[in-house]
Structure 1
Amino acid sequence: MSIRIVPQQQLGALREKHNTADNIPPLLFANLKSLYRRRAERLGQLATSNSFGDYLRFAAEIAQAQHNVCHDHPLMVDLTTVLAQSAESGKPPLDVLSYLRSEHWQQLLMALIAELKPQASETVLAVLENLEKMSQHQREQLANALLNGEFASVGSDQAPFIWAALSLYWAQLASQIPGKAHAEYGEQRQFCPVCGSAPVASVVHLSSSNGLRYLHCSLCESEWHVVRVKCSNCEQTRDLNYWSLESEQAAVKAESCGDCGSYLKILYQEKDPQLEVVADDLASLILDAKMEQQGFARSAVNPFLFPGE
């Protein structure tokens, strides 16, 4: 991979070998103290004037539950050995296809269910109670299907809750990584360098990373740098186009690639500093419908709306 996470003591030697200074932060880890609370607030704001307002409010309740559970059920784990193995193999340290997850994610799921049940509608309550009554093995099977991209194997009513727990688990793991990210020559950045998952969308940052584009991971919530005006899926630059539902100054656009036939949303914080990647991606589903009408396939995954649902 072109962005690797390596032990701190190896960073200097790698920079000298590859002649890179890493002036651009290649990887940004999530701030779990505010991530889910901010997402819940943004979803609530967007719901007031959106045709999908009810679903945005439902997603906001899950995000707020994630915030509460993250505070009440912290994860402490030593990833030193995992990081060393990753540096040697070149694979993401928390690769969804090979990392052996613990039962902590199921504890998070049960805590999320407990948070959500008091205000749940009858329909949602039935789903939560069904998940609660399942055996651990059955829940593991659902998790395996989602992490392997077999979205059609998991009911659309169950998937958001399973993924919310898995995402919270992986985000907690990512916050424990003791190494630093190092950017090497080459691309291949369409998947998260932390866990290997697909992005939700990309965001052009303000503040210290002004003007830089980062892809936001749909699972571990990390963000990784990908240069602008390049397809995030196939890395081509020849046939890119930008689409929006509003004007040229729209804060949310879709970047399409004529070479691979895919598209990914791109969000501009300079046009709306209140943007939140997951929330604003979900709130712009009409743009997704327009892109599908144009014959482009989405290369991303939203935690509240999976392909095939």
Structure 2
Amino acid sequence: MNSIQMNPADARSPGVGEIPAVLLPTADQRYARRAARLRQLADGHPMADYLRFVARIAEVQQQLLEQLPLPSEAIAGLPARLGQGQAPLAWAQLARDAYWQRLLQHLITALHSDVNAGIAATLERLAELDPQALEVKAGALLAGQYDQVDSGQALFLWAALTLYFSQLATHLPGSGQALVGEHRQHCPVCNSAPVASVIQTGALAGLRYLHCGLCESRWHMVRLKCSNCEATGQLDYWSPEHQQSPLKAESCNDCEGYLKVFYPEHDRELEVLADDLASLALDAEVERLGFARTGVSPFLFPG
């Protein structure tokens, strides 16, 4: 059981020095910032075309967030999901609202004219699927059964699903409570895997939070401990650049897994999902050394 539980929001003020267990996503310009960062990173990058393509997806996500927001009926049931001893938006127990499929259809329509013939064909096949078939594919994707979903389709399915789950998390009227123990490998909000760690700046400077690849919540986990198996003392850090690099890969010799760590203090323009995608060369190098990524890459599914 996750050692962070989501309960109804506590009206009391945080104590002095109290560390927030969970940082829920905010309804801001997240996707617009992601798109801008991807376009910035694309300049001179070997994957420039793909980075710009994903930037276009992020732009459409921002448009949908503004023009087709989460309906009120999907928000109404959120309070009852808190304080139950499990992730309130756990994907395996949550009956997904048909809204996420509407997001997918709008995403397909908006992107269709911007893509090449191969991607257009992928979008057309997705558009032809009935609601039940889409739910089956979504369930397999969320469960990590990537061999059950075409990798090209997975990109667009996830883009709609994460827009749905992140809005649910934004409207969740709760807060995280840290319990005894350090079982924090999965998101306490939706029970998904992290995409990376982030060393916070500002009021939370120096604290590590894991960033969810689905609902985009962040949850606290102490540093110098493997985010997968929680072992200490067997960690190594790999960097493509100098000591002050804004990203490193934290590998564990106990479980032979790794997860990237981002340091915004060294690059104020850093955006976790954008910089994760743009740093796949680091993934390739660490995997060449025998380590396996323990988190999900939302823009590059296997298959």
Number of residues of Structure 1 aligned to a counterpart in Structure 2: 300
Q: Which residue of 2 aligns with 1:168?
A: 163
2:66 to 56, 62, 71: 71
The C-alpha deviation readout for 1:37-95, integer Å capped at 9, x for no partner, is 1111111111112111111111111111111111111112465755445423x110000
Unaligned runs of 5+ in 2: none
**Separation in 1 of the partners of 2:198 and 2:238?**
15
Q: Which residue of 2 aligns with 1:32?
A: 27
Q: Is the 8 A contact 1:22 1:183 kept in 2?
A: no
**Separation in 2 of the partners of 1:221 and 1:51?**
27
Aligned-partner residue type, residue 87 of structure 1: G
Q: Which residue of 1 aligns with 2:147?
A: 152
- After the TM superposition, which of the residue ranges 293-302 and 243-252 deviates more from structure 2? 243-252
Shift of 1:190: 0.8
Identity of aligned residues (%): 48
Q: Which residue of 1 aligns with 2:3?
A: 2
Q: Which residue of 2 aligns with 1:118?
A: 113
Distance 1:115 1:28, change over 3 A: same
- After the TM superposition, which of the residue ranges 54-63 and 71-80 deviates more from structure 2? 71-80
What's the RMSD between the two structures over aligned residues?
A: 1.8
Q: Which residue of 2 aligns with 1:237?
A: 232
In structure 2, the residue corresponding to 1:158 is in which secondary structure? helix
**Separation in 2 of the partners of 1:81 and 1:63?**
28
Aligned-partner residue type, residue 87 of structure 2: P
Name the TM-score, length of structure 2 as normaliser: 0.94
**Separation in 2 of the partners of 1:77 and 1:68?**
21
Unaligned runs of 5+ in 1: none
Distance 1:71 1:269, change over 3 A: same
Q: Is the 8 A contact 2:199 2:263 kept in 1?
A: yes
Pair 1:87 & 2:83 matched: yes
The C-alpha deviation readout for 1:190-212, integer Å capped at 9, x for no partner, is 10000000011111121222111
Pair 1:282 & 2:277 matched: yes
Pair 1:256 & 2:251 matched: yes
What are the equivalent positions in structure 2 for 1:8-23 lying under 5 Å apart?
A: 8=9, 23=18
Distance 1:30 1:207, change over 3 A: same
**Separation in 1 of the partners of 2:146 and 2:257?**
19
Q: Is the 8 A contact 1:5 1:83 kept in 2?
A: no
The C-alpha deviation readout for 1:206-235, integer Å capped at 9, x for no partner, is 122211111110100111111111110011
**Separation in 1 of the partners of 2:79 and 2:290?**
41
Distance 1:77 1:222, change over 3 A: farther
The C-alpha deviation readout for 1:109-145, integer Å capped at 9, x for no partner, is 0111122123222222111111111111111111011
**Separation in 2 of the partners of 1:305 and 1:114?**
22
Aligned-partner residue type, residue 278 of structure 1: L
**Separation in 2 of the partners of 1:82 and 1:236?**
35
Shift of 1:31: 2.2
**Separation in 2 of the partners of 1:58 and 1:254?**
25
**Separation in 1 of the partners of 2:231 and 2:55?**
36
Name the TM-score, length of structure 1 as normaliser: 0.92
2:207 to 176, 196, 212: 212
**Separation in 2 of the partners of 1:170 and 1:236?**
30
